[in-house]
Structure 1
Amino acid sequence: MLCKTRSVRALAIVATATTALLSSCKKDPVEVNPTGTTSTASTSYINNWILANMRDAYYWNDKIPANPNLALAPADFFKSLLNTYNATTNPQGDRFSWIQESAAELTASLNGETKTTGMDFTLILTAQGSTDVVGVVTYVLPGSPADLAGIKRNDLFYSVNGIALTTDQATLNKAFADESVPQTYGFAAIQNGAVVRTTTTKTVTPVVFQENPILKDSVYTVGTRKIGYLLYNQFVPGPNGSTAAAYDNQFKAIFGKFKTQGVNELILDLRYNGGGYVSSSIELASLIAKGISGQSKALYYRQEMNPTLMAQLQKDAGGLESLNKYFTPQANNIGNQLNRVYIITTHRTASASELVINGLRPYMTVNTIGSTSYGKNVGSITISDKTNTQNKWGLQPIVFRSFNKNNESDYWTGFTPTVAVNEPYGALVPLGDLRDPLLATAINHMNGLTTGGRQAATPDLTVGSSDDFKPGANNMFITDPIR
């Protein structure tokens, strides 16, 4: 997506776990791995272009160094401009801005199209105190190479291309260095409660694949409750390069089914959803919010931008009104059939997912089930160079912070769950199965069988996930198991 950044009016926003794409402009068709993605523009030109755009749009533009070193390589130069996060000294700093050598590939990935095996996984310690790590397959995209190879949710692997997984960061980086080439996985099994390596291997060749973010939807009848369930993995309006909102229309149709079937409880499963386009987040939240029917301007959230842009907006005819984002009218809104909503969250729930949580809270009770969400109350835009075709770089800087109707935005450390429960890695059941602890806990809470607090004694042994090795991801860190 190519949007000008010189005009305040041109900034329109999207949010992703490692990204957040802000845009009301139409998506331009792009290719994954297009030819000629290496910039031929000079380092001096690229860095001056980076600096000009960051001074214009970056949320913390007042913290950009006055005289940055323009001789640095572009990626290093971009990093030198950031208001770097530090847990102790700058806990509200920037954890999310990034730069990518191909703006076309950046845009494609934000639209769900990447070169991939189609396998999502979580990395866990094999035991408390161990340095050995296994990957647990959390889901497989239907029709993807991993699916065709017979890989399924809850499968375990201990090695990638002959590299055994450990807590050593360099080893993990090497194992997942290039997921665009064939991947040979060495599989493991659980025997007598312990992880055991087997001789089974599977080689999967990645392909350019378009992910449909809607993985599962169901309606459950539990006593007098009609429970709608939607598992949604990324806020993407439609396939990359398409101007049609096929995926948005798909979840609207699902809510039409929920409405027709008289759903009176809703579980929105965002456990693996790192974010996406704000436009899709508005559409989804507008199907859920209670009491907004008939309102012309029910506020979903407002944006706060950098001091320069805020001062400029105050002088414009529309003032700060352009920063307000409202719910949209939806024929299939089921809010009046609900008294509350349940949202399943994990540490991978971020950005646009958290925007839905925060935006709905002033309108209805939002119960979160699972573990604490990531903590991303800021969003970004994609910036590419439309004046010089020799410059292929793409920027994804943070450009705004979001506030809900009640002016709430303090979830830098994530949303603490109403009821805390961990996924039992190594004993996962199919997604949408009522035996799933997160889904079951939500239903138990509806029925008054769970009031809050921690419900599962299973220790959290996670050390990362497949998200950590995607462009723009935070540097993965290894910690002791959370107890």
Structure 2
Amino acid sequence: MGRTSFTIGLVAALSACGGGGSSSPGPIGGGGTPTPTPTTSACSLANRQQFVRNVLNEWYLFPDELDTSVNPASFSDVQSYIDALVAPARASSKDRFFTFITSIAEENAFFESGSSAGFGIRLGYDTSANRVFVIEAFEGAPGLPAGFDRGVELLSVGTSAATLQTISSLMASGGPQAVINALGPSTVGLTRVFSIRETNGTTRQVSVTKAEFELDPVSNRYGAKVINDGGKLVGYLNLRTFISTADPDLRAAFNSFRTQGVTEVIVDFRYNGGGLVSTAELMGDLLGAANVGQVFSFTTLRASKASENETDLFGAQPEAIAATKIAFIGRGGTASASELVTNAFIPYLNNNMALVGANTFGKPVGQFGFDLTACDDRLRAVTFKTENANRQGEYFTGLASVVPNTCRANDDISVQLGDPAEASIAVALDFLAGRSCTPIAGTTGVQGAQAVAPARILLQPDSPTPAQREVPGLF
């Protein structure tokens, strides 16, 4: 069970992004061809539940918070049984739906190539006005060439021009889930008609058909660039998700930073829900040339599995830079692997690093995958916690309380990601330049809600696909 198989991706329920809760991951989606669970005796509900119980009894990180008294016969599906087993850990905020059952085929397709099916857009909604916006669009997917890009507003949606329903009426009648239902499942070939308002104010109608596409983890439009800030060169990197195809993009980005002499960096994790630990380790190496041989992170399992514990050291990479100052941009959808990378640099950068934007989700634990291959079942069970070199890792309430500096900033969707004029990037540049900022609520000594308007939440289904878990808001 090598490190490359670890995944600490965000369970991207609404609660992960500041909204309501969810307990059923669900097998909806494209991005691979999942095998329907066979109806043989080997894949009976009782056998699948027993598989889950056996794994959790042996591997679950919090064995004392596992309710093995629950009767499996009281549950009609595997996920609800899992939820009951881990309910005590959930009540103490240690497992907020991080343990779940998913499809082996779907998850492999996403982690290996970023494969998914949909429009290829990330959506968010404003809690105050019940409006839905595109906050990111992915290259190679059908949405972007149809005119969907950051800042575009969805006004109505339907299966045809004659069945359009306004977003406002959907939100009023059923909240975000009504909009999600209207968008339809992640099925290749499914078409929806939209009325949209572009960033210049133009309103038009457009039809878009869902297709399978491979998500580029570092956008070729704005994912990696060097910003000239008053004569000082600052590296900017926006990583969408930690999947294996990110590795060459990360190496290319940091090689560019290195050849241009960049030592101060903005790392934009604002929508990054996590992913593979192996990619997080590589990113740490690429930022930490000055820390080679020192501790990047500790991975610790339950006492009975202590033989599986690991200490990961910063490794030498030819493309690496010795970052002297880093501004990490994060928000409520920032979780897991992105939090791991941020936390790892606290012992080394101290006051030369900051969290910019808003508080993060708070997920210092990760999962192993356990496969019941014949049933296309993969149990993602919380099995380990991660800590930095100072053994800090209890940030279940988010990173704002542990990062040395925090700077509150809006997520300005009227400006493209990577633009130094965008609100969070502008504040990040201020921090790197030594200018003052307003701390994020949740920071030690900072009181009050400190609303960051507009209060935009990533739109997330009750039953996210594997891709939606790692890329919250993806449709």
Fold in common (TM above 0.5):
yes
Q: Is 2:339 aligned against 1:354? A: yes
Deviations 1:55-112 (A, max 9, x none): 12221233333343232322222222113566xx523344322112x32113323442
Whichever structure has more helix as a proportion of its residues is: 2
| TM-fit CA distance, 1:272 | 1.3
Measure, in 1, the Cα distance between the counterparts of 2:80 and 2:150.
38
For the 8 Å contact 1:140–1:153, the answer to whether it is kept is yes
Q: What aligned pairs does 1:42-441 form with structure 2 within 5 A after superposition?
A: 42-71=44-73, 72=75, 73-84=77-88, 90-100=92-102, 102-111=103-112, 112-125=114-127, 128=128, 130=129, 133-161=130-158, 162-163=164-165, 164=167, 165-166=170-171, 168-169=174-175, 170-180=177-187, 181-188=190-197, 200-215=204-219, 216-238=223-245, 247-289=246-288, 291-293=290-292, 295=293, 298-310=294-306, 313=307, 322-335=309-322, 338-364=323-349, 365-386=352-373, 389=374, 391-416=375-400, 418-425=406-413, 428-441=414-427
Q: Quick one: distance in 2 between partners of 1:258 and 1:356?
A: 18
Q: Which secondary structure state, in structure 1, belongs to the residue aligned with residue 72 of structure 2?
A: coil
CA distance in 2, matches of 1:422, 1:306: 39
Distance 2:366 2:296 in 1: 15
Identity %: 23
> 1:99, 1:44 → 2: CA distance?
15
So what's the TM-score if we normalise by structure 1?
0.79
**CA distance, structure 1, for counterparts of residue 7 and residue 81 of structure 2:** 25
Instruction: Give the equivalent residue in structure 2 for 1:17.
Output: 10
CA contact (8 A) 1:62 1:307 kept: no
User: CA separation of 1:347/1:468 partners in 2, compared to 1, >3 Å: closer, same or farther?
Assistant: farther
What is the letter of the counterpart of residue 371 of structure 2? S
SS at 2:87's partner residue? coil
Q: Indicate the SS of the match to 1:309.
A: helix
- The Cα of 1:11 is off from its aligned counterpart by 9.4
Compare 150-159 and 397-406 and name the one that shifted more.
150-159
Residue of structure 2 in register with 1:461 after alignment:
455
RMSD of Structure 2 on Structure 1 (CA): 2.8
Matched, 1:447 2:449: no
Distance 1:118 1:11, change over 3 A: closer
TM-score (structure 2 length as normaliser): 0.80
Contact 2:111 2:244 in 1 (8 A): no
Q: 1:66 to 1:222 in 2, by over 3 A?
A: closer
Q: Which residue of 1 aligns with 2:161?
A: none
1:303-340 deviation digits (Å, cap 9, x = unpaired): 22123323xx2xxxxxx7x42122221122211xx321
C-alpha distance 53-85 of structure 1, shift in aligned 2 (>3 A): closer
Alpha-carbon distance in structure 1 between the residues aligned to 2:315 and 2:48: 39
Q: Please say if residues 124 and 462 of structure 1, whose CA atoms lie closer than 8 Å, have aligned partners that are also in contact.
A: yes
Report how far residue 227 of structure 1 moved. Answer: 0.7
Structure 1 residues without counterparts, runs of 5 or longer: 4-8, 20-30, 239-246, 314-319, 475-483
